[in-house]
Amino acid sequence: MNIDWYPGHMTKARRQMQEDLKLIDLIVEIRDARIPESSKNPDLMQMGQNKLRLIILNKADLADPRITEEWAEKYKKEDVYVIQTDSKAQKSRNEILKAFEVASAPKRERDKKRGLRNRPVRAMIVGIPNVGKSTFINLVTKKSQAKTGNKPGVTRGKQWIHTSSLIDLLDTPGILWPKFESPEVGLHLAMCGAISDERIPMEELGIEIIDYLKKNYQGLLAERYEVDENQENYEILNQAALFRKVILPGGEANTERMAEMLVNEFRTGKLGRISLERPSAEETKDETVEE
């Protein structure tokens, strides 16, 4: 798939983020638990050197729980503090606040040695578009202080938000980066809604999801849409449209509309808890490159 994905406002947002990093103590990177590697920003490691870091695997309620746990263990072995959350669930709030406290402990200790007490930790909230940053902030603050939406590009400017727990949050626009490491990264971002659907051929995206589910979650499509998974991907999409009665005048399957429905059902979890990446696959890929 050829995806046009890097609008001009992201260039400006990236420059602003680089400037704002000078003001903060802690980087809180929110990633999509379904695509932990594709949703990480490779620029952050360079831009945020010497900053305390916390990784939030958000939308964990949509991801395969066994695979999410594998990712969490992988990051812990790399000495990265990480938690799994569903920002729409109130029960996640206490765990998030505890994570803030643990991740920022070195900064508080430094302040204590310098005689500074009760100085708020300044945390920058970063992540790709539509990863749930604003919902995350509203959960932490218990207020609707950050704009939310189910499409990328809702947050366009930075916002300082004060909390009651000695944490000041800097909300930043969701940004991508000028060059993906591989076409697979762009595809995963498109599947999870990080790239505007206006830039994506939805029928092709639906077929890509079908192809992935056939290979990794066998039986799911057959159960939900009563299709024969041994058929070609387009024929499966066609069968699903007829099953759902998504048809054009004359009785022909509306595969474009069915693809949109399929993509939406994947994104909202109606197809089940599905992960698009797992650590074992990433590690195998790295080892192959090294050889």
d(Cα 133, Cα 155) in Å, to the nearest integer? 9
Query: Does residue 46 have a pLDDT over 80?
Result: no
Who wins on pLDDT, 176 or 241? 241
Give the per-residue pLDDT at 257.
Answer: 97
d(CA 207, CA 203): 6
Q: Is the pLDDT of residue 63 over 80?
A: yes
From the list 166, 158, 189, the residue with the least C-alpha distance to 176 is: 189
More confident: 135 or 237: 237
Mean pLDDT value across the chain: 84
Query: Band of the pLDDT at 283, cuts 50, 70, 90?
Result: low
pLDDT at 45 over 80: no
Higher pLDDT, residue 161 or 272: 272
Q: Is residue 82 within 8 Å of residue 55, measured between CB atoms?
A: yes
Contact indicator for 117, 111 with CB cutoff of 8 Å: yes
Give the pLDDT score at 158. Answer: 66
Question: 115-137: buried (b, 16+ CB within 10 Å) or exposed (e) per residue?
Answer: eeeeeebbbbbbbbbbbbbbbbb
Give the pLDDT score at 195: 87
User: What is the amino acid identity at position 126?
Assistant: V
Tell me which DSSP letter residue 120 carries.
P
Q: How confident is the model at residue 155 (pLDDT cuts 50, 70, 90)?
A: very low
Q: What was the pLDDT predicted at 117?
A: 79
Q: Is 131 left (phi over 0), alpha (psi -120 to 50) or beta?
A: alpha
How far is the C-alpha of 40 from the C-alpha of 206, rounded, in Å?
24
**pLDDT tens track for 1-27:** 655 555 555 667 677 777 888 888 898
End-to-end CA distance of the chain, in Å? Answer: 29
Q: Is the pLDDT of residue 280 over 90?
A: no
Residue in 101, 181, 106, 132 with CA at minimum distance from that of residue 29: 132
Q: Which residue has the higher pLDDT, 132 or 203?
A: 203
Phi/psi region, residue 144 (left: phi>0; alpha: psi -120 to 50; beta: rest), is beta
Across residues 190-196, what is the average pLDDT? 91
Residue 118 is encoded by which pair of tokens? 């009760």
26-32 β-sheet, strand order:
82-84, 52-58, 26-32, 121-127, 167-171, 159-162
Q: Which comes out higher in pLDDT, residue 222 or 287?
A: 222
88-97, 160-169, 171-180 — which one is most confidently predicted on average?
A: 88-97
Whole-angstrom distance, CA of residue 288 vs CA of residue 291: 5
**Which pLDDT score, from 0 to 100, does residue 159 have?**
74
CA–CA gap between residue 98 and residue 239 (Å, rounded): 48
pLDDT in tens, 240-260: 999 999 999 999 999 999 999
| Segment among 49-53, 60-64, 73-77, 210-214 with least mean pLDDT | 49-53
Percent of the chain with pLDDT over 90: 43
